[in-house]
Amino acid sequence: MRRISTMMALVGAMTLTGATAASAQAFGGSSMDIGPVIGFGGLGGAGMSFGGRFEKGIKQLPNMGNGALSFQLSIDYYSFNNRFLGSDFGFKYIPISGTINYHINTKSTKWDAFVGAGLGYLNFSSDYDGPGDFSSGGIYFVGRLGGRYYLANGMALYADVGAGAASLNVGLMFKLKK
């Protein structure tokens, strides 16, 4: 019984230590995060997308409310099928984008909010059970709003809205560098 109590106290202390360390983690000018996302509300019949985000802090901006500037790379994938006039059509989208984000100094150590703008490239392909599959690509403008809520040391819940594979993307971000 004493071993179980000692183990529970140790786990509790580690949890509190993790929560304390997490509270000191705002996204800053030298931060680097990576993580998976799931998107909801895509184009056409696509209800869900899968992708990832990588973000690297560029610099702290003391003259702009002590916010931080960063570069974010995102890639997503989604597909869906439709049946029209007796034929099956498949659609695949792979958007890749790069944005420059401004992280607002929220004065909270657990919350991070950002706004970003950039460019993306959308690779689109369509196939159906007949001749003449179609593939295309193009550049598009990206506007993005997002944020993080830090759960533990090196891990945060993540969400963004804007251009890309879905209306809303949610996931986890893992800190590679403070």
The tens digit of pLDDT for each residue in 126-177 reads 876 666 667 788 999 999 999 999 998 789 999 999 866 577 899 999 999 8
Quick: pLDDT tens for 97-109: 999 999 999 888 8
- Poorest-pLDDT segment among 9-23, 38-52, 71-85: 9-23
Distance CA 143, CA 163 (A): 6
CATH number of the structural domain spanning residue 59 = 2.40.160.20
User: How confident is the model at residue 132, as a pLDDT?
Assistant: 65
Pairing of strands 67-84, 87-104: antiparallel
User: Which pLDDT score is estimated for 116?
Assistant: 95
- How far is 14 from 7, CA to CA, in rounded Å? 11
Please count the structural domains in the chain. 1
Three-state SS string across the chain, please?
Answer: CHHHHHHHHHHHHHHHHHHHHHCCCCCCCCCEEEEEEEEECCCCCCCEEEEEEEEEEEEEECCCCCEEEEEEEEEEEEEEEEEECCEEEEEEEEEEEEEEEEEECCCCCCEEEEEEEEEEEEEEEEEECCCCCEEEEEEEEEEEEEEEEEEECCEEEEEEEECCCCCEEEEEEEEEEC
Better-predicted residue by pLDDT, 79 or 9: 79
* pLDDT, average across residues 51-70: 92
Domain of residue 81 covers 2-177
